[in-house]
Amino acid sequence: MNADGALATTLCGLRLRNPVIAASGTFAYGLEFQKLVNLNGLGGLVVKGLSREPMEGNAPPRVWETAAGMLNSIGLQNIGVRAFVRDKLPALAKLDTAVFANVFGYQTGDYVEVVRILEDHAGLAAYELNVSCPNTSHGGIYFSSDPALLSEVVAAVKRVARRPVVVKLSPNVSAIEPLARAAEESGADAISLVNTFVALAIDPYTRRPRLGGGTGGLSGPAIKPLALRLVFQAARAVRIPVIGLGGISSGTDAAEFLIAGATAVQVGTATFADPRAPVRIASELGRFLRREKIAQVSQLVGSVKA
């Protein structure tokens, strides 16, 4: 446990040394960072999204730096769940930190099959469902934008999962509350938000999109105020824990999300500039608590005066 017990956090029954988690898609499978980062200094880490079969992802270019963040169009490239449990999970299982498996699919059965395979192996603390994918069996409607489809996939996964299930919500919706409530009512143990905002960058000289996939997902400091608002709204709509993310790059950023109602936070884009960002942010959050004479980080959660 972290020497600074003030940061100790409980999330879905999981005891975390601090509330700062490395976000999916920005921290590879975790192991790639172990020479740069003390992985056991993290509150947890979420591996790259896992699918039933390996995926090559989108055509390059895949990343474009913006004035206050980045656009990505990786296309959910990954080695597939079977290669993950064979080649990555045994080493991850030796860590003291909580490891979350991010799971995605294009039909409900995809999510269920990936989780079913993961259930047979030790070393994971929980699952995070990336529902920002089009459901191909329902004409391409996004799981993340339809409460009925969201409920269907969450309930199906909960029937096979013995570990906690976190649902990662998209910000690309007209209202977040119905989706947050649908996740809760169908059995989710927690929700995380936000995923990236759909955005576009154009090269004015070639008049073509900067990314090979056309549009991409905007992340980083540019989205922080938007993400904070959505976390605040979602936390007021549900009773289950909320994990906040979106543009967090400092301990005070993390504190803002906790104050808005998040129980824990995830750090993503900041790790591109500083691979140690999640550990640094946890340390800065600890200093914030000491300066403000706050005995336990849980005292911040939902303390916004609104």
Annotate 204-269 with DSSP letters as a single string.
TTTTEESBTTBSEEEESGGGHHHHHHHHHHHHHH-SS-EEE-SS--SHHHHHHHHHHT-SEEEE-T
Q: Could you confirm whether 133 is annotated as catalytic?
A: yes
Tokens of residue 37, six digits: 């980062």
SS3 39: helix
The interaxial angle of helices 277-291 and 251-260, nearest 10 deg, is 70
306 vs 298: CA distance, rounded Å: 18
Please list, residue by residue across 116-154, b when 16 or more beta carbons sit within 10 angstroms of its beta carbon and e when fewer do: ebbeeeebbbbbbbbbbbebeeeeeebbbbbbebbbbbb
Beta strands in 174-282 (DSSP E): 190-193, 197-199, 202-203, 208-209, 216-219, 242-244, 264-267
First-to-last alpha carbon distance for the chain, in angstroms, is 34
Q: Which of 39, 101, 133, 154 is catalytic?
A: 133
User: How many angstroms from the chain centroid is the CA of residue 88?
Assistant: 19
Task: Please give the positions annotated as active site.
Answer: 133
